[in-house]
Structure 1
């Protein structure tokens, strides 16, 4: 068997955590382990640490957290290897102030030489195949050449006459009906506005749709949505909305010769996360259930290498049954985008203070912790909702809390609750000083914090 020794030096995705105080932090593990035999991971450090945790992503997409106490700077964790394939793992060592050291590693589970490959099984998991799919633009790919985009008012005026405004290529929409928004005081056809566009509702014979009309867009808008839709095809992720990018779909009254692309999405009934909390924050049961539902949702996305890119109260809908749906995919990351820069930076009250053009599957890590801690904290202490201040652009945290965690009233309040809430608040404070893509707060690690 081959053995690998990790030096414990921090990766480029994180700030250096006390490395100088213990340069001899090591992680020992086998690079190849025969299926159904244990993988024993040994961790050693001279630091006064309390426990070690190892998060493991199995080849079949399932995730599991292992824990062990540290004694005299030494800890051992035995991992199960029930299947062949690649196991992605991360070691975290905890001291009194939170995570002291962090190291990522991977190993391979192999079949015994005497065993034949069972029908229907492969060494590489379906999840790994999906993440590594090669997606290319078709030769006949078409992207609209747009120099200047219409504003919301122009779209609203034109869409009131769908026979005129919708291209003949989309007959179902052309025969539909524009729906007025009855949930606003001033009469309007607009159901929502975001960083890149405005949303309208159209009822057609085939169903109800949300039509996102772009008021500005990244230069590679059409290409981005092609890659996103191609990657998501065939993946069952119920938290995402079905959508189609429609090139040359809508024209304006003021410029009938120019057609603009739109995004057609399945219409989802639900209330925004902020509105749901406002209505139910006094119910500890509903808030805890919502927190768990949110974290499990984000774990599933992360397993497929997907990041939403702009998690916020506006982009999360909650149904009456508590089911979550994520909307607005303009900033979404999928594996085919590896090496690119992010098209947007997201809502500041949900993002890492140092977020720039960072772009990877870990893009949501900080936002997930912000939202989960908000929901979990409210389930323990409903009065925390006072920090929202009737602001629809945040939950209980503001960007200033991330810049100066030690001076944050809401973080102090969360720490005073004690237990797991205190640990999560400490972890958030620590994460604010780390790299924006720090893997120490991956969703599965947040779930494993006890």
Structure 2
């Protein structure tokens, strides 16, 4: 079966009643349209997300996630995730519909989630570069979120700016569960390998999966709170201060050198630099560092 292209999806979504098997989605309307009146998605590497709202009052809104390629374990993965007894509040509830979208070429899967307003982490950070209190508060909320995942025995698997949403209330929500780890998923391969600007050089798919990227993000937030000028020296539009090269060779890293110039950051930066060369399973939990203050 040929997998749909983005154009296939756009053409089908113009007529929700004809393409969705879900009753709510079938009677919904697209919330945003792009050029030539075509559906305007939020694009990603593995899926596109479309915003729908209920017909009539429009008080109910959904995010519909359509996959850009096949993945043999996807249906099994989401069936196991849907059956988990504990689903933390930082993760949006979801419905995985294996044949939720019907096209002329066949039936294809989709994810249906409640629509969540917010901004990607890097966009939010850029807007708050001169607000130290806001950045420090977000760093603390980040530590709480990571602890929430650990208590639920989950690891997101692809913690990065594009998968972290800051809501209008400055709460944090995580998107994209294709790489998520849980004990029931141990025998399945991850659906994704994670954004390289956040992952450990020796990444392992186990319960410690999030520890390194969690520390990367926490370090970046703390650093920008006290030295916002680092953004203009290290941002490339697709990172949060660090890049894959920094983790592969931390001793030669420009980012680590610049951060170490800020005296109050040195203990935290040293911890991250050492984590780059330690085996990933030896990276300590973020709770060790969240008492770090500036």
The TM-score, its normalising length taken from structure 1, stands at 0.61
For residues 64-100 of structure 1, the C-alpha deviation after alignment (integer angstroms, 9 at most, x for no partner) is xxxxxxxxxxxxxxxxxxxxxxxxxxxxxxxxxxxxx
Aligned: 1:154 with 2:8? yes
Whichever structure has more helix as a proportion of its residues is: 2
Q: Secondary structure at the match of 1:246?
A: strand
Q: Which ranges of 4 or more aligned residues in structure 1 deviate by more than 4 Å? A: 185-188
CA–CA distance in 1 between the matches of 2:33 and 2:119? Answer: 14
CA–CA distance in 1 between the matches of 2:36 and 2:160? Answer: 25
Paired residues of 2:14 and 2:38 also in contact (CA < 8 A): no
Match of 1:416 in 2: 261
Whichever structure has more strand as a proportion of its residues is: 1
Query: CA shift at 1:427, angstroms?
Result: 1.0
- Aligned CA distance change for structure 1 residues 186 and 286 (closer, same or farther; 3 Å): farther
Q: Secondary structure at the match of 2:280?
A: coil
Gaps of 5+ in 1: 1-146
Q: How does 1:47-446 map to 2 (within 5 A)?
A: 147-167=1-21, 170-181=22-33, 189-204=39-54, 207-231=60-84, 233=85, 235=86, 237-252=88-103, 256=104, 258-355=106-203, 358-391=204-237, 393-419=238-264, 421-438=265-282, 440-446=283-289
CA–CA distance in 2 between the matches of 1:403 and 1:186? Answer: 45
How many residue pairs end up in the alignment?
290
264-273 vs 397-406, greater mean Cα deviation: 397-406
Paired residues of 1:165 and 1:251 also in contact (CA < 8 A): yes
Query: CA shift at 1:332, angstroms?
Result: 0.5
Query: CA shift at 1:390, angstroms?
Result: 4.5
CA–CA distance in 1 between the matches of 2:74 and 2:37? Answer: 31
Higher relative contact order (CA 8 A, sep 6+): 2
Query: CA shift at 1:240, angstroms?
Result: 0.9
Gaps of 5+ in 2: none
- Aligned CA distance change for structure 1 residues 186 and 424 (closer, same or farther; 3 Å): farther
Paired residues of 1:196 and 1:217 also in contact (CA < 8 A): no
Q: Greater CA radius of gyration, 1 or 2? A: 1
